[in-house]
Amino acid sequence: MIKNICFQIILLIVSFSSIKANIIILNGLTHNYNIEAGKVYKGKISVENAGNRTQNVKFFLQDFTYSADGSSVYSSPNTNEKTNTNWIKLNTNLISLKAKEKAEIFYEITVPTNAPDPGSYWSVIIAEPVEEIKPTNDKMGVNITSVVRYAIQVITDLRSEDAKPDLKFEGVKIDKDEGKRILKVAIANIGNLYCKPVTSIDIYDKKSGQKMGAFSSQAMGLLPQTSKSFHIDLSKIPAAKYNAVLIATDENENAFALNLELEVKDD
Protein backbone atom coordinates (compact mmCIF):
# COMPACT_ATOMS: atom_id res chain seq x y z
CA MET A 1 0.00 0.00 0.00
CA ILE A 2 2.82 2.39 0.92
CA LYS A 3 4.60 1.64 -2.39
CA ASN A 4 1.43 2.46 -4.36
CA ILE A 5 1.02 5.77 -2.52
CA CYS A 6 4.67 6.73 -3.21
CA PHE A 7 4.25 5.87 -6.89
CA GLN A 8 1.12 8.05 -7.16
CA ILE A 9 2.98 10.96 -5.51
CA ILE A 10 5.81 10.69 -8.06
CA LEU A 11 3.32 10.77 -10.93
CA LEU A 12 1.72 13.88 -9.46
CA ILE A 13 4.93 15.90 -8.98
CA VAL A 14 6.59 15.14 -12.32
CA SER A 15 5.10 16.66 -15.45
CA PHE A 16 6.41 16.44 -19.00
CA SER A 17 6.41 18.95 -21.82
CA SER A 18 7.95 18.74 -25.26
CA ILE A 19 9.27 21.36 -27.64
CA LYS A 20 8.74 21.11 -31.36
CA ALA A 21 11.79 21.26 -33.61
CA ASN A 22 11.25 24.95 -34.39
CA ILE A 23 14.94 25.56 -35.16
CA ILE A 24 15.89 24.44 -38.68
CA ILE A 25 19.38 24.17 -40.22
CA LEU A 26 19.02 25.34 -43.82
CA ASN A 27 22.36 24.47 -45.43
CA GLY A 28 22.93 20.85 -44.49
CA LEU A 29 24.30 18.86 -41.58
CA THR A 30 27.60 17.89 -43.22
CA HIS A 31 30.19 20.49 -44.28
CA ASN A 32 33.19 18.99 -46.05
CA TYR A 33 36.45 20.78 -46.94
CA ASN A 34 39.62 19.82 -48.81
CA ILE A 35 42.31 21.64 -46.88
CA GLU A 36 46.03 22.46 -46.95
CA ALA A 37 48.41 23.15 -44.07
CA GLY A 38 48.69 26.78 -42.99
CA LYS A 39 45.55 28.00 -44.77
CA VAL A 40 42.28 29.45 -43.45
CA TYR A 41 38.83 28.36 -44.64
CA LYS A 42 35.52 30.04 -43.92
CA GLY A 43 32.11 28.46 -43.52
CA LYS A 44 28.66 29.28 -42.21
CA ILE A 45 25.59 27.69 -40.67
CA SER A 46 22.26 29.02 -41.92
CA VAL A 47 19.55 28.72 -39.29
CA GLU A 48 15.85 29.61 -39.14
CA ASN A 49 13.37 29.91 -36.31
CA ALA A 50 10.23 28.36 -37.78
CA GLY A 51 8.32 28.86 -34.53
CA ASN A 52 5.98 31.59 -33.40
CA ARG A 53 8.06 32.97 -30.54
CA THR A 54 11.58 34.22 -29.97
CA GLN A 55 14.12 31.43 -29.53
CA ASN A 56 17.65 31.56 -28.16
CA VAL A 57 20.13 29.09 -29.69
CA LYS A 58 23.60 28.24 -28.41
CA PHE A 59 26.44 26.79 -30.49
CA PHE A 60 29.41 24.75 -29.27
CA LEU A 61 31.93 22.17 -30.52
CA GLN A 62 32.08 18.50 -29.64
CA ASP A 63 33.88 15.40 -30.86
CA PHE A 64 31.77 12.70 -32.46
CA THR A 65 31.91 9.06 -33.54
CA TYR A 66 29.44 6.28 -34.37
CA SER A 67 29.18 2.55 -35.02
CA ALA A 68 27.09 0.08 -36.99
CA ASP A 69 24.97 -0.87 -33.98
CA GLY A 70 23.32 2.54 -34.26
CA SER A 71 25.10 4.19 -31.35
CA SER A 72 26.62 7.66 -31.55
CA VAL A 73 29.04 9.16 -29.05
CA TYR A 74 29.37 12.92 -28.49
CA SER A 75 32.29 13.87 -26.31
CA SER A 76 34.34 16.85 -25.16
CA PRO A 77 36.72 18.48 -27.67
CA ASN A 78 40.09 16.75 -28.09
CA THR A 79 38.88 13.34 -26.94
CA ASN A 80 39.09 12.02 -30.50
CA GLU A 81 42.61 11.69 -31.93
CA LYS A 82 41.21 12.80 -35.31
CA THR A 83 39.58 15.95 -33.93
CA ASN A 84 39.75 19.34 -35.62
CA THR A 85 38.08 21.26 -32.79
CA ASN A 86 41.23 23.29 -32.13
CA TRP A 87 41.18 24.50 -35.72
CA ILE A 88 37.61 25.87 -35.64
CA LYS A 89 36.51 29.22 -34.22
CA LEU A 90 32.86 30.35 -34.13
CA ASN A 91 31.98 34.02 -34.48
CA THR A 92 29.38 33.64 -31.71
CA ASN A 93 28.16 31.05 -29.22
CA LEU A 94 24.64 32.41 -28.72
CA ILE A 95 22.00 34.04 -30.88
CA SER A 96 18.41 35.14 -30.39
CA LEU A 97 16.01 34.60 -33.27
CA LYS A 98 12.61 36.21 -33.50
CA ALA A 99 9.70 34.20 -34.88
CA LYS A 100 10.31 33.26 -38.55
CA GLU A 101 13.71 34.99 -38.50
CA LYS A 102 16.78 33.60 -40.29
CA ALA A 103 20.44 34.10 -39.39
CA GLU A 104 23.93 32.94 -40.35
CA ILE A 105 26.61 31.75 -37.93
CA PHE A 106 30.13 32.03 -39.34
CA TYR A 107 33.16 29.96 -38.50
CA GLU A 108 36.81 29.82 -39.54
CA ILE A 109 39.01 26.74 -39.93
CA THR A 110 42.68 27.59 -39.38
CA VAL A 111 44.82 24.65 -40.42
CA PRO A 112 48.12 24.54 -38.52
CA THR A 113 51.31 24.88 -40.53
CA ASN A 114 52.67 21.77 -38.86
CA ALA A 115 49.56 19.83 -39.84
CA PRO A 116 49.38 16.14 -38.92
CA ASP A 117 49.23 13.08 -41.17
CA PRO A 118 47.10 13.08 -44.35
CA GLY A 119 43.48 12.06 -43.91
CA SER A 120 40.16 13.24 -42.53
CA TYR A 121 39.75 15.21 -39.31
CA TRP A 122 36.35 16.17 -37.96
CA SER A 123 34.10 17.42 -35.19
CA VAL A 124 30.52 18.64 -34.87
CA ILE A 125 29.04 22.04 -34.14
CA ILE A 126 26.05 21.55 -31.86
CA ALA A 127 23.08 23.91 -32.30
CA GLU A 128 20.88 23.71 -29.23
CA PRO A 129 17.76 25.74 -28.39
CA VAL A 130 17.96 27.36 -24.97
CA GLU A 131 14.73 27.47 -23.01
CA GLU A 132 14.07 30.07 -20.37
CA ILE A 133 13.31 28.56 -16.96
CA LYS A 134 10.07 30.13 -15.79
CA PRO A 135 8.96 29.11 -12.30
CA THR A 136 5.24 28.68 -11.87
CA ASN A 137 2.93 28.30 -8.94
CA ASP A 138 0.22 26.61 -10.97
CA LYS A 139 1.33 23.12 -10.00
CA MET A 140 3.91 21.46 -7.87
CA GLY A 141 6.76 19.37 -9.16
CA VAL A 142 9.41 19.18 -11.82
CA ASN A 143 8.86 20.18 -15.43
CA ILE A 144 10.90 17.93 -17.76
CA THR A 145 11.48 19.42 -21.20
CA SER A 146 12.82 17.69 -24.30
CA VAL A 147 15.05 19.72 -26.62
CA VAL A 148 15.94 18.95 -30.24
CA ARG A 149 19.65 19.49 -30.91
CA TYR A 150 21.37 19.54 -34.30
CA ALA A 151 24.90 18.24 -34.91
CA ILE A 152 26.58 19.82 -37.96
CA GLN A 153 29.59 17.76 -39.02
CA VAL A 154 32.66 19.74 -40.09
CA ILE A 155 34.92 17.32 -41.98
CA THR A 156 38.33 18.48 -43.17
CA ASP A 157 40.30 16.31 -45.60
CA LEU A 158 44.01 17.06 -45.39
CA ARG A 159 46.09 16.11 -48.46
CA SER A 160 43.40 13.70 -49.57
CA GLU A 161 45.50 12.59 -52.54
CA ASP A 162 47.81 10.89 -50.04
CA ALA A 163 45.00 9.23 -48.05
CA LYS A 164 42.32 6.67 -48.82
CA PRO A 165 39.32 4.90 -47.33
CA ASP A 166 39.57 1.18 -46.62
CA LEU A 167 36.20 -0.53 -46.25
CA LYS A 168 35.76 -3.75 -44.29
CA PHE A 169 32.62 -5.91 -44.13
CA GLU A 170 31.95 -6.63 -40.46
CA GLY A 171 28.60 -8.42 -40.56
CA VAL A 172 25.68 -9.43 -42.77
CA LYS A 173 22.19 -10.37 -41.59
CA ILE A 174 18.59 -10.32 -42.81
CA ASP A 175 15.92 -8.71 -40.62
CA LYS A 176 12.24 -7.91 -41.01
CA ASP A 177 11.62 -4.16 -40.79
CA GLU A 178 8.19 -2.61 -41.26
CA GLY A 179 7.00 -5.60 -43.28
CA LYS A 180 10.07 -5.63 -45.54
CA ARG A 181 12.93 -8.12 -45.72
CA ILE A 182 16.07 -6.03 -45.19
CA LEU A 183 19.67 -7.10 -45.67
CA LYS A 184 21.76 -5.21 -43.11
CA VAL A 185 25.45 -4.93 -43.97
CA ALA A 186 27.80 -3.59 -41.29
CA ILE A 187 30.75 -1.80 -42.91
CA ALA A 188 33.73 -0.18 -41.18
CA ASN A 189 36.10 2.37 -42.67
CA ILE A 190 39.50 1.28 -41.38
CA GLY A 191 41.28 3.73 -43.68
CA ASN A 192 42.12 7.37 -43.00
CA LEU A 193 39.82 9.23 -45.41
CA TYR A 194 36.09 10.04 -45.26
CA CYS A 195 33.97 8.55 -48.05
CA LYS A 196 30.33 8.04 -49.07
CA PRO A 197 29.95 4.41 -50.16
CA VAL A 198 26.98 2.62 -51.67
CA THR A 199 26.52 -1.09 -50.93
CA SER A 200 25.09 -3.36 -53.62
CA ILE A 201 24.48 -7.08 -53.91
CA ASP A 202 24.25 -9.33 -56.98
CA ILE A 203 22.26 -12.49 -56.22
CA TYR A 204 22.56 -15.77 -58.18
CA ASP A 205 20.55 -18.99 -58.11
CA LYS A 206 22.66 -21.53 -56.25
CA LYS A 207 21.91 -24.39 -58.69
CA SER A 208 21.70 -22.78 -62.11
CA GLY A 209 23.94 -19.78 -61.55
CA GLN A 210 21.29 -17.54 -63.10
CA LYS A 211 21.35 -13.95 -61.85
CA MET A 212 18.24 -13.26 -59.78
CA GLY A 213 18.74 -9.53 -59.38
CA ALA A 214 20.90 -6.64 -58.22
CA PHE A 215 19.95 -4.45 -55.28
CA SER A 216 21.53 -1.40 -53.65
CA SER A 217 21.51 0.67 -50.48
CA GLN A 218 21.52 4.42 -50.18
CA ALA A 219 24.88 6.18 -50.06
CA MET A 220 26.03 7.14 -46.57
CA GLY A 221 29.02 9.02 -45.25
CA LEU A 222 31.58 6.95 -43.37
CA LEU A 223 34.32 8.57 -41.30
CA PRO A 224 37.63 6.83 -40.59
CA GLN A 225 37.55 4.33 -37.72
CA THR A 226 33.74 4.29 -37.68
CA SER A 227 31.12 1.87 -38.98
CA LYS A 228 27.52 1.97 -40.22
CA SER A 229 24.78 -0.48 -41.14
CA PHE A 230 23.80 -0.25 -44.83
CA HIS A 231 20.27 -1.48 -45.60
CA ILE A 232 19.22 -3.24 -48.81
CA ASP A 233 15.60 -4.22 -49.48
CA LEU A 234 15.38 -7.90 -50.55
CA SER A 235 11.60 -8.23 -50.32
CA LYS A 236 11.35 -9.25 -54.00
CA ILE A 237 13.68 -12.25 -53.65
CA PRO A 238 11.90 -15.62 -53.03
CA ALA A 239 12.93 -17.73 -50.06
CA ALA A 240 15.87 -19.96 -51.04
CA LYS A 241 19.63 -20.32 -50.74
CA TYR A 242 21.72 -18.18 -53.08
CA ASN A 243 25.27 -17.28 -53.99
CA ALA A 244 25.91 -13.56 -53.85
CA VAL A 245 28.53 -10.89 -54.40
CA LEU A 246 28.45 -7.95 -52.00
CA ILE A 247 30.16 -4.78 -53.23
CA ALA A 248 30.83 -1.48 -51.45
CA THR A 249 31.76 1.33 -53.84
CA ASP A 250 32.76 4.86 -52.82
CA GLU A 251 32.28 8.05 -54.82
CA ASN A 252 35.73 7.63 -56.43
CA GLU A 253 34.79 4.18 -57.75
CA ASN A 254 37.00 2.35 -55.26
CA ALA A 255 35.33 -1.05 -54.84
CA PHE A 256 35.49 -3.61 -52.03
CA ALA A 257 33.85 -7.01 -52.67
CA LEU A 258 32.81 -10.07 -50.67
CA ASN A 259 31.53 -13.44 -51.94
CA LEU A 260 28.99 -15.10 -49.69
CA GLU A 261 26.21 -17.65 -49.44
CA LEU A 262 22.87 -16.07 -48.66
CA GLU A 263 19.86 -17.85 -47.19
CA VAL A 264 16.54 -16.04 -47.60
CA LYS A 265 13.87 -17.55 -45.36
CA ASP A 266 10.08 -17.36 -45.51
CA ASP A 267 8.60 -14.57 -43.40
Fold of 17-161: Immunoglobulin-like (2.60.40)
Q: What is residue 249's predicted lDDT score, i.e. its pLDDT?
A: 96
pLDDT in tens, the chain (267 residues): 444 434 333 333 333 334 455 899 999 999 999 999 999 999 999 999 999 999 999 999 999 999 999 999 999 999 999 999 999 999 999 999 999 999 999 999 999 999 789 999 999 999 999 976 555 555 555 555 557 899 999 999 999 999 999 999 999 999 998 889 999 999 999 999 999 999 999 999 999 999 999 999 999 999 999 999 999 999 999 999 999 999 999 998 889 999 999 999 886
Closest CA to 206 of 257, 167, 161, 244: 244
Question: Sign of the C-alpha dihedral, residues 220, 222, 228, 234?
Answer: positive
Question: What pTM did the predictor assign?
Answer: 0.85
One fold for 17-161 and 167-264: yes
Domain range list for the chain:
17-161, 167-264
Q: What is the CATH number of domain 167-264?
A: 2.60.40.2360
